[in-house]
Amino acid sequence: MEIDVFDETLLNILVCPLTRTPLRYDANSNELISDEAGLAFPIRDSIPIMLVDEARVTKNTT
């Protein structure tokens, strides 16, 4: 099994597609986290999937 390697320099250019705020990388879950939106975007084959429909909800946003 190959481990995904995420290039953390991408954090300098990527933002949350919903809120346009910075993201943080969570190495344990291999996701990019938008604290503002309460979403976690998966990283698959070292590629961030920046689609809101593919994101996991991390908090109740109501």
| Three-state DSSP class for residue 40 | strand
pTM, full prediction: 0.86
Domain boundaries, given as residue ranges, for the chain: 8-57
Question: Given this model, what pLDDT does residue 62 score?
Answer: 52
pLDDT tens by residue, 2-38: 566 788 899 999 999 999 999 999 999 999 999 999 9
- In contact, 36 and 49? CB cutoff 8 Å: no
Nearest 5°: CA angle at 25, between 40 and 19? 50
List Cα–Cα distances, 34 to 1, 22, 28, 47, 60, in angstroms.
28, 7, 15, 16, 13
CATH class of this structure's domain 8-57 = mainly beta
